[in-house]
């Protein structure tokens, strides 16, 4: 088995990078820690978009628009709807989308836990990249919006490796770790879903919605 050491990760990140001018510009706007998807994750998402060719993409957690712009430019045939709860991030995302000139992105300002209840279109591809403590709720709401055989990708499911470590969890991470473990347990065991976890970036869950448990085909 290959030990995934930092040299291997650095190499994959370097060869995977796919930033154009606007994406480079967005990364340059961020001082300090950046929650933007990591190199390698961007390429994997684009690869999945090519395979799936979704008509409608839903993103939970726009931040300043990097992944929305990446997906909308890579899948120009698709409409991207992205939800952001933080006003400052939403305003920056809106400015970046305008700068990109892309017309296939709809940004919604609000809490996804509310907004998702009011969306009435079906989505073929969902990217969950928001509060790690709420993945189960996002998934519940997304299952009402995803089309059969739709793909859901959830980022950060390994939470810096904390999900994997045994023993006591520091108090400040306890709730997220507990909820993320419940989320992982659920996606691995729900008969409506077919799921795997890829150790890319901070851990990606890749989920296919097979249909309601009453559907004949699985
Ligand atoms: C990891 S960042 C998203 C990064 C972005 N997907 C990218 O790669 O460019 C998470 C974002 O989700 C937003 N967020 C957190 N909880 C949310 C919620 N309940 N509804 C909508 N946005 C939320 C945060 O404000 C933050 O901007």
pLDDT per residue as tens digits for the range 195-209:
999 999 899 999 999
- The reply to whether ligand 1 has any atom less than 6 angstroms from the CB of 34 is no
In contact, 23 and 66? CB cutoff 8 Å: yes
The closest of 109, 116, 113 to 85, measured between CA atoms, is 109
Is pLDDT at 218 greater than 70 in this prediction?
Answer: no
In contact, 57 and 81? CB cutoff 8 Å: yes
What residue has token string 């088995």?
Answer: 1
Q: Which residues are known binding-site members for Mg(2+)?
A: 129, 155-156
Substitution site in 40, 61, 128 for ligand 1 pocket (most atoms within 8 Å of beta carbon): 61
Is pLDDT at 11 greater than 60 in this prediction?
Answer: yes
C-alpha 110 – ligand 1 centre gap (Å): 11
Give the atom of ligand 1 at the shortest distance from the alpha carbon of 86.
25
Give the atom of ligand 1 at the shortest distance from the alpha carbon of 35.
1
> C-alpha dihedral over 156, 55, 50, 15, to 10 degrees?
-40
More confident residue, 31 or 62: 62
Of 46-60, 70-84, 110-124, 199-213, the range with the lowest mean pLDDT is: 199-213
Is pLDDT at 217 greater than 70 in this prediction?
Answer: no
Q: What burial class does residue 86 get, using C-beta atoms within 10 Å of its C-beta: 0-12 exposed, 13-18 middle, 19+ buried?
A: middle
Q: What is the pLDDT of residue 10?
A: 84
Of 8-12, 27-31, 46-50, 162-166, the range with the lowest mean pLDDT is: 8-12
Q: E strand or H helix at 97, and its extent?
A: helix 87-100
Q: In order of start, what are the domains of the chain with their CATH numbers?
A: 6-24+36-209 (3.40.50.150)
Substitution site in 83, 85, 134 for ligand 1 pocket (most atoms within 8 Å of beta carbon): 85
- The reply to whether ligand 1 has any atom less than 6 angstroms from the CB of 12 is no
């Amino acid at each position: 088995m290959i030990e995934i050491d930092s040299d291997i990760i650095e190499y994959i990140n370097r060869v995977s990078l796919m930033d154009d001018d606007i994406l480079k510009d967005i990364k340059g706007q961020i001082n300090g820690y950046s929650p933007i998807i990591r190199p390698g994750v961007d390429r994997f998402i684009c690869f999945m978009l090519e395979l799936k060719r979704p008509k409608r993409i839903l993103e939970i957690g726009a931040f300043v628009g990097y992944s929305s712009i990446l997906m909308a430019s890579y899948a120009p045939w698709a409409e991207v709807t992205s939800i952001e709860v933080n006003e400052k991030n939403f305003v920056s995302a809106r400015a970046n989308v305008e700068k990109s000139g892309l017309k296939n992105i709809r940004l919604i300002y609000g809490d996804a836990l509310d907004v998702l209840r009011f969306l009435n279109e079906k989505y073929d591809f969902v990217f969950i990249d928001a509060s790690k403590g709420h993945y189960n709720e996002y998934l519940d709401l997304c299952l009402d919006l995803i089309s059969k055989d739709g793909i859901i990708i959830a980022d950060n499911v390994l939470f810096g490796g904390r999900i994997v470590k045994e023993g006591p969890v520091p108090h400040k991470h306890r709730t997220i770790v507990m909820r993320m473990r419940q989320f992982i347990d659920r996606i691995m065991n729900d008969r409506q879903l077919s799921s795997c976890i890829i150790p890319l970036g901070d851990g990606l869950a890749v989920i296919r919605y097979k249909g309601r448990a009453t559907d004949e085909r699985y």
